[in-house]
Structure 1
Amino acid sequence: MQLNKTKILVLILLLIITASVAFYFYQKDSDLPPMTVQEKKARFKALIVPAVNTVYTKLLSQYQEVKKTIEQGKSSEKIKQLKIEYKANTHDELLMALKPHPRSIAIAQAAMESSWATSRFFRKANNIFGVWSFDEGEPRIAALQKRGDKTIWVKKYRSVEEAVFDYYRTLARSAAFAEFRQTKMITDDPYVLVTKLDRYSEKGHLYGEELTSIIKFNKFTDYDKD
């Protein structure tokens, strides 16, 4: 137990150092005023939490409606269209896709991926989750750094709410997160679920550990209670 606490404290310290360094460079490329850590987090919450709450509520309502229809043995055109949209072959797969995961996870990922809403991707494109773009026809912006000779593109959203919805939709559709979807039908424990997000980041299993630290340190599970 003591080793686990020590490990979490070390991760938190590393995250704080990383965020501080990243924030310094982000501010050099932005018109953001100097902020304390507390001010930065307060700004982040004001920008992100309302959008997460709105999207989560809508998705939960849709999930409950579809679940009720399926349990009644009924079918509908809406369910057929949702199966196509979410690449679901069965009712069970559709429900796995539609059930929204805890808000604490979404908020923690937003904080990590956007350096608390200070990243260039967020400021220029409302891209709070670092979602890449592979479609030349959609709104997007180029990253400042390349991978070899290849330009990295990220999606550009009209609003934070649109970005949050697309993030939930990505986790609901991608084959990479099939185990994550299966697990959220068994538990709503964010600390269990984040261990299934190793494919969201090149950090692998460390990604889940960092999310765990962010959720615990910032008490983000409070957003899962209502």
Structure 2
Amino acid sequence: MSTTPQSQIQTVLLFIAALMFGFGALVQIADQRDQSATPVTYKALKTPADIVHLTNPVEAVAYTSVVSLAPLPVAEKKQRFIALLLPAILISKQHLQQQRTRLEQLLSLSALNSEEQTWLEQLKSTYNTDSPAELRQRMVDLPNSLILAQAAIETGWGSSRFFVQANNVFGVWSFDPNEKRIMARQTRDGRAVFVKRYDSLLGAIEDYFLTLARGNAYIELRQAARHTQNSLELIKHLHRYSELGDDYVKRLETMIVQNRLRRYDSYQLSTRSNSVSQ
């Protein structure tokens, strides 16, 4: 069947359009894959033996409930505790890196669509700032050894009631009666004290990063973290984290050095899907 030049042109244009559509779809899929996180397995513990053995790269496991590690021999307790916490730390850091990457991409654009603008506004609200420049500065990384040291001190290497009953790794208080929380045994000025209850250890770690990102007390920490990932340098800026002040910094230093926690700074999250049993 013969065709006119006009119909031939239309055919060619449709073919090109189809190719462009296919290419665009591939780009979109690839971009979605770049933004997607490593699949996370959520796991509840019944005994310390259920803790997945720590390897490098680290399996992406987020524990939804834990058990006290207090009965274990000291060396085993420490080993199990690190295997329990390090996956959540690395998952949270991966999420943070993905947020930073997308933020840089959006800030490089001349204009944002409604979805991109909504995402940016939500991120600014989350980090309690209206300034994109300030947002960049707040979204800082921290070394694994520093986080592990704080977690070990705050939970007594996985022995505290807050840790066991609320997945609360850092003793974070709750002032909102509408959020999940548990009551502390002690009171302050005759009033009940509550701490947050998290759905998983990952939730506790991500809330920890937000606390350090939003608090005015940690401006110096955030500034220093943009120049070094040496935990022994960064802990100097955590004197306001605890009422112990400089003594808290000394305890962190002792914890990092004596337990050789800086060896875990090089650990990375596995990029493959894991098959950890629930």
Distance 1:110 1:204, change over 3 A: same
What amino acid does structure 2 have at the position aligned with 1:103? N
User: Which is higher, the Rg of structure 1 or of structure 2?
Assistant: 2
In the aligned structure 1, how far is the partner of 2:214 from the partner of 2:68? Answer: 36
Q: After superposing the two structures, state which structure 1 stretch, 123-132 or 191-200, moved more.
A: 191-200
Deviations along 1:17-57, one digit per CA (max 9) or x if unpaired, are xxxxxxxxxxxxx9767321111112211211111111112
Identity %: 39
Name the counterpart of 2:201: 160
* Deviation of the 1:88 alpha carbon: 2.0
Q: How does 1:22-171 map to 2 (within 5 A)?
A: 34-71=71-108, 76-77=116-117, 78-171=119-212
| More off after superposition, 64-73 vs 156-165 | 64-73
Deviates more, 1:161-170 or 1:64-73: 64-73
User: Quick one: which of 234, 250, 256 aligns to 1:209?
Assistant: 250
Distance 1:195 1:205 in 2: 8
Distance 1:218 1:124 in 2: 26
In structure 2, the partner of 1:25 is: none
- SS of match in other structure, 2:240: helix
Taking a change above 3 Å as real, the CA distance of residues 183 and 155 of structure 1, as seen in their structure-2 partners, is same
- Which consecutive residues of structure 1, in runs of 5 or more, have no partner in the other structure? 1-29
Letter matched to residue 63 of structure 1: R
Structure 2 length-normalised TM: 0.66
Checking the alignment, whether the CA contact within 8 Å between 2:69 and 2:157 is kept in structure 1 is: no
CA displacement 1:54-110 (0-9 Å, x = unmatched): 111221222233234435666541223211210123223111222221221111111
Give the root-mean-square deviation of aligned CA atoms: 2.0
Contact 2:70 2:159 in 1 (8 A): no
> Structure 2, unaligned stretches of length 5 or more?
1-66, 268-278
1:179 lines up with 2:248 in the alignment: no
Is the Cα contact below 8 Å between 1:56 and 1:103 reproduced in 2? no
* 8 Å Cα contact 2:149/2:255 also seen in 1: yes
The amino acid that maps onto 2:123 is: L
Cross-structure match for 1:188: 229
The equivalences for 1:7-18 within 5 A come to none
Indicate the structure with greater helix content. Answer: 1
Output the amino acid matched with 2:232.
Y
Gap change, CA 1:190 and 1:33, over 3 Å in 2: closer
Give the structure-1-normalised TM-score. 0.80
